[in-house]
């Protein structure tokens, strides 16, 4: 998934981002509400992890903008305030979930994963196609009875191809969902990752390349 973390405490923001990247997500970071709105205007996010008390533009106003834009992005609101009234207020703004600080990173990651499933068309919890079995929760991939060890990017790319259920996935979409904002749009990263993924999955090859269109697992 493509995730935006909006948190003004830099160390916490980077810690959240790294935890989510370990789950093979593409993560961007904004340290204030204004920067968050700039990124939301450019990128298509599945989930926004949003601190409520932000400088420049308050987190409540960022949440309102996400809702008003009719974006598919789901909002997980973070706050140091743990009172029931604060949670109700946050949810009434349009946030999809609410997590008080301090929190366990594992719980945050699980909530993000759950929201991500709601932001896109429903798919089975375990993806299966062409003899490939991918379990996102356990980060495991098998082809037949053989375990396939993948890098984070390879895992993320294979997830997107399997989610497409046989449809063609463009290189632009893969770059959007698997890499973050630091990725060069003219890079050959997608093509090279597909080549490595094909090699690891073994024969017969299951990933098709459609020149000028993208990739698919038929």
CA angle 89, 91, 95 (to 5 degrees): 130
The half-sphere exposure of 212 on its side-chain side, counting CA atoms within 13 A, is: 0
Model pLDDT for residues 13-49, shown as the tens digit of each residue? 999 999 999 888 889 999 999 999 999 988 889 999 9
Residues 142 and 202 sit within 8 Å (Cβ to Cβ):
no
Q: Using CB atoms within 10 Å of the CB of residue 2, give its burial: 0 to 12 exposed, 13 to 18 middle, 19+ buried.
A: buried
Please report, in tens digits, the pLDDT of each residue of the chain (218 residues total): 899 999 999 999 999 999 999 888 889 999 999 999 999 988 889 999 999 989 999 999 999 999 888 888 999 999 876 666 666 676 778 889 989 888 999 999 999 988 987 766 555 678 999 999 999 878 899 999 999 999 989 999 999 999 999 999 999 889 888 887 776 666 788 999 999 999 999 999 999 999 989 999 99
pLDDT at site 101: 87
Q: Give CA–CA dist 127/113, Å, rounded.
A: 15
DSSP, res 13: H
Q: Per DSSP, what are the bridge partners of residue 99?
A: 78
């Amino acid at each position: 998934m493509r995730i935006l973390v909006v948190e003004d405490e830099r160390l916490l923001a980077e810690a959240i981002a790294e935890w989510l990247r370990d789950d093979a997500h593409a993560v961007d970071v904004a340290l204030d509400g204004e920067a968050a709105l700039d990124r939301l205007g450019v990128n298509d996010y599945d989930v926004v992890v949003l601190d409520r008390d932000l400088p420049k533009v308050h987190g409540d106003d960022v949440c309102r903008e996400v809702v008003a834009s009719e974006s598919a992005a789901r909002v997980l609101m973070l706050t140091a305030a743990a009172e029931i009234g604060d949670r109700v207020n946050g949810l009434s703004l349009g946030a999809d979930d609410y997590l008080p600080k301090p929190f366990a990173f594992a719980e945050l990651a699980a909530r993000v994963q759950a929201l991500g499933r709601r932001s896109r068309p429903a798919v089975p919890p375990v993806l299966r196609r062409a003899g490939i079995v991918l379990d996102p929760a356990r980060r495991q991939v098998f082809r037949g009875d053989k375990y396939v060890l993948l890098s984070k990017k390879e895992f993320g790319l294979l997830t997107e191809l399997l989610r497409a259920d046989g449809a063609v996935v463009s290189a632009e979409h893969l770059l959007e969902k698997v890499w973050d904002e630091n990725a060069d749009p003219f890079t050959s990263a997608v093509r090279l990752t597909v080549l490595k993924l094909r090699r690891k999955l073994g024969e017969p090859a299951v990933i098709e390349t459609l020149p000028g269109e993208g990739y698919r697992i038929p």
